[in-house]
Structure 1
Amino acid sequence: MWTSPIPIHLSHDLAAAGKRRDYLSRRARPPSNDLIRLLRGAYVQRQDLEGLSHARAHEVSIHAARLTGLLTEGAVLARESAAVMLGIPLVGALPHQVQVVRRGRDGGRSTPGVRTLRASGDYQSLTRDGVEISSVAQTLADLARRRPLWSVLPGLDAMLRSGQVTKDQITSLASPGSHGRTRLLHAVAVADPASESVGESLSRAVMIEENVPLPELQETVRSAQGEFLGRVDFIWPQAGVIGEFDGHVKYSGQLTGRNLDTVLLDERRREIDIERATGMRVVRWLWEDAFKRTGMLRVLADVGIRPVH
């Protein structure tokens, strides 16, 4: 867990390497400008950092905070930072600062690289390789109180599906009168471990927020002869519509020895077989369609699945 995705260069290592104290800081300025300063005394190669996802880049900042001594005793990695280290998927922007809480009165301070918040004495945590992190249930509860449903539902679905947490464990943290309690309880209520990808969870969150009639999830489809044709992401039986989130990532595991065109052609044949066997219409949408909403809503509206107001 505690290996950075990319190398981190530390100022306090310069003397041992025979370098000047300002060697790294000079490389983070023109004309060289090949390093980026993450925190005081911690730098990474610009090219390395720019090649990472937002989650992996945030993980690098967490490692830098640890290496530079900013995660001192009593600090608990929390919120988005905990989600990154626990593998909880989130949709949307991540904070620039590493998120930390401290129990009791010792909190509420921030530095340029670390935001420190105050937490109650019963704040739930676990320890990984000597670093304290908020528990899966605590992390999900913290995020569901503060972030929109479309951002947190993928994490709730994924952790429920993996068995790392239960709904009761999360809702037990929603004490009466606590901040964001209603939002938290709603998010947990609509979470569903049947959802099998971030894109499917995002799509369902948009449906919920836009009052689109909700489908059944991951239903098995068979031919009239009982032949297994596949499991579909979404199905509206009464409307005669099947929906598929068409994320390119879902095909990555099918490409061994085959090109993408062949895989997509096979998928289209499967789609035709499903339509013939069920008499239903199969529609698809992409990540951008779900993230920006209008594309997915248009696809569904074209087959009669519209928001109910």
Structure 2
Amino acid sequence: MSRRHPQWVYAGLSAAAAMNLEYSWSLLRDESIYVASSPENQSHRRSQTVPIFVASEENCVVRYLLGESMVAVRTTTPARTLVDCALRYPFRLVLGMFDSAFRMKLTDADSVVDECDRIRADCGSVFRLLRYTDARSENGGESLCRATLIDAGFAVPELQREFVDPENSWNVRRVDFVWHTADGRTIVLEYDGMRKYVDPVMTKRRDIQQVVSAEKSRDDMLLRAGVSAVVHATYDDVVTHGSLWSKLIRAGVPRTDAIPFYELK
């Protein structure tokens, strides 16, 4: 599309895809192409394109090596891209975009707020995302899991905490999510994508039994290091909600009274 229309500036989800931001596969059901536009410029209107009105002419260029040639894709700025996606899609599906953009240092909170000042829209959903954005999130699956926890009213966990085996100081394990309760307990949640069990790169060519055995050994080490409970969640647990909630409630993960007022339904 950029080769055919080099003057187009992609926006919204199209820009997020060009920047390789993390987001849920469910958003790919939207097959529209989002292009930055202004009321005066409607030259790119096609049945497949959706205009996003952008007053500023500031944009970025993402370059791809396609075969032996370089392709330049013009997009809205990372900050404007995050704002447009936050205004269009639910919190839990966009948190990964914010986490990954901040992790890759494509933008920062001040730039996002500046974009909010430039548009005439209620940016409450953007500010909610900024409140919970954490560059330590390692992938979109972890971001989706954390956003689901937040929407469900669970306390915001600590990310990427390391634990040292008291029997072997060289044995250090980093976990995805940690909660510390008022009564002194420590609860760990590990997000385990299905690739962990079937992808040869992640399994290191071990069979499922060996992977599960290694997981149990890891859990035993965490318990020795003072963890009170270790909860495992898969992608299916996250998207079906109920299974994950019951696991966390049984483990005693603290709750809050958070109400996602700005959540899009």
Matched, 1:255 2:203: yes
Does residue 156 (structure 1) correspond to residue 90 (structure 2)? The answer is no
Whether contact under 8 Å (2:18, 2:62) holds in the other structure is no
- Do 1:103 and 1:118's aligned partners in 2 also have CA atoms closer than 8 Å? yes
Instruction: State the partner residue of 1:15.
Output: none
Q: Is 1:246 aligned to 2:192, yes or no? A: yes
Aligned-residue offset at 1:200:
1.3
SS of alignment partner, residue 219 of structure 1: strand
Q: Could you tell me which residue of structure 2 aligns to residue 286 of structure 1?
A: 234
Asked if 1:143 corresponds to 2:91, the answer is no
Q: Which has the larger radius of gyration?
A: 1
In structure 2, C-alpha distance between the alignment counterparts of 1:209 and 1:190, rounded to whole Å: 11
1:222 counterpart residue number: 164
Give the secondary structure class of the aligned counterpart of 1:243. Answer: strand
For residue 108 of structure 1, report the CA deviation from its aligned partner.
9.3
Q: Is the 8 A contact 2:187 2:251 kept in 1?
A: yes
Alignment of structure 1 residues 197-208 onto 2, 5 Å: 197-208=139-150
Superposition deviation, residue 125 in structure 1:
3.3
Residue 266 (structure 1) aligned to one of 198, 214, 226: 214
In the alignment, the residues of structure 2 paired with residue 208 and residue 258 of structure 1 have an alpha-carbon distance, to the nearest angstrom, of: 35
Which stretch has the larger CA shift, 251-260 or 286-295?
251-260
Q: Flag the 1:192–1:101 CA change in 2: closer, same or farther, 3 A.
A: same
Deviation at 1:292, TM superposition (A): 2.4
Once the two structures are superposed, residues 4-50 of structure 1 have per-residue CA deviations (whole angstroms, 9 ceiling, x without a partner) of xxxxxxxxxxxxxxxxxxxxxxxxxxxxxxxxxxxxxxxxxxxxxxx
Task: State the partner residue of 1:168.
Answer: 110
SS of the aligned residue for 1:301 comes to helix
Aligned-partner residue type, residue 98 of structure 2: L
Seen in structure 2, the aligned counterparts of structure 1 residues 96 and 304 have a Cα distance that, compared at 3 Å, is same
Size of the aligned set, in residue pairs, is 242
- Measured in 2, the distance between the counterparts of 1:298 and 1:178 equals 41
1:7 maps to none
Task: Go from structure 1 to structure 2 and tell me whether the alpha carbon gap of 1:171 and 1:250 turns closer, same or farther (over 3 Å shift).
Answer: farther
- Give the match for residue 302 of structure 1: 250
- In the alignment, the residues of structure 1 paired with residue 62 and residue 141 of structure 2 have an alpha-carbon distance, to the nearest angstrom, of 30
Structure 2 distance, partners of 1:277, 1:127, is 45
Distance across 1 between alignment mates of 2:248 and 2:195: 22
Q: Distance in 2 between matches of 1:150 and 1:279?
A: 28
Please state how far the C-alpha of 1:228 moved relative to its aligned partner: 2.9
8 Å CA contact 1:103, 1:121 repeated in 2: no
Kindly indicate whether residue 120 of structure 2 is the aligned counterpart of residue 185 of structure 1: no
Deviations 1:193-228 (A, max 9, x none): 111121211111112212211211110011224343
Return the offset for 1:86. 1.1
Residue 286 of structure 1 deviates from its aligned partner by 0.8
Distance in 2 (alpha carbons) for counterparts of 1:209 and 1:305: 14
1:87 and 2:43 are equivalent in the alignment: no
Distance across 1 between alignment mates of 2:119 and 2:19: 28
Which whole-Å CA distance do the structure 2 matches of 1:79 and 1:151 have between them?
Answer: 13
Going from structure 1 to structure 2, the CA distance change for 1:257 and 1:285 (only over 3 Å counts) comes to: closer
TM-score (norm 1): 0.71
Amino acid at match of 1:259: D
- Rounded to whole Å, the distance in 2 between the matches of 1:127 and 1:249 is 29
2:36 counterpart of 1:101:
yes
Superposition CA RMSD, Å? 2.3
Q: 1:104 Cα deviation (Å)? A: 5.0
Could you tell me which amino acid in structure 2 is paired with residue 234 of structure 1?
A: F
Gaps of 5+ in 1: 1-64
Structure 2 regions of 5+ residues with no counterpart?
Answer: 64-70, 258-265
In the alignment, is residue 78 of structure 1 matched against residue 20 of structure 2?
no
Greater relative contact order structure (CA < 8 Å, 6+ sep): 2
From 158, 176, 182, the equivalent of 1:233 is 176
The structural deviation recorded for 1:122 is: 4.1
**Secondary structure of residue in 2 paired with 1:247:** coil
